[in-house]
């Protein structure tokens, strides 16, 4: 599968919850503006509700959003579960002009996993398939997935890679 969005050899600021907020990314961008891509902290998809566009833009980083070059270098990471309103969120993200998203299937945090998100989903490929299908059918931009080899073990790794 070819990728038209990311260069084959890229320098990427990886996402980390509680660290890669917009202020941190703006600072890194000012020092390492030659890096290729910068991932945001994850944005938790809401349950049965919708964010205001302004909230998403603030999470993304307003100065970054308002600078087309920086916006194109930034990937908005989302955290979804089987219960969240993921499809409306990704449609909204696309409509406001964010062209790259990443689904977090790697977070090991107990709080995230207790809500059936992050790495917890790695034990349930059928749920991942449902979430990924909803995103891919409703979001036209670049879409990647951050994963681990597994949650409890690595038995589903190949299935998940195929998804």
CA dihedral 22, 25, 31, 35 (to 10 degrees): -140
From 107, 119, 128, 132, the catalytic residue: 107
CA distance 133 to 26: 32
State the Cα torsion 138-47-101-54 to the nearest 10°. Answer: 100
Rounded distance, CA 12 to CA 27, Å? 15
Instruction: Check if 3 is active-site.
Output: no
Contact 160, 122 (CB under 8 A): yes
Q: How far apart are CA 12 and CA 37, in angstroms?
A: 5
Catalytically active residues are 107
């Amino acid at each position: 599968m070819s990728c038209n969005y990311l260069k084959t050899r890229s320098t990427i600021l990886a996402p980390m919850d509680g660290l890669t907020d917009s202020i941190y990314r703006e600072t890194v961008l000012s020092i390492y503006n030659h890096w290729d891509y910068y991932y945001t902290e994850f944005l938790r998809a809401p349950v049965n509700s919708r964010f205001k566009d302004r909230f998403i833009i603030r999470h993304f980083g307003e100065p970054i959003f308002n600078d087309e070059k920086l916006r194109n270098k930034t990937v908005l990471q989302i955290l979804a579960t089987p219960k969240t309103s993921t499809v409306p969120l990704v449609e909204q993200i696309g409509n406001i002009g964010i062209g790259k998203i990443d689904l977090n299937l790697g977070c090991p945090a107990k709080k995230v996993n207790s809500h059936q998100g992050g790495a917890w989903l790695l034990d349930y490929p059928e749920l991942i398939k449902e979430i990924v299908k909803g995103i891919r059918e409703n979001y036209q931009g670049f879409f990647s997935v951050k994963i681990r080899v597994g949650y409890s073990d690595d038995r589903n790794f190949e299935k998940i890679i195929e998804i």
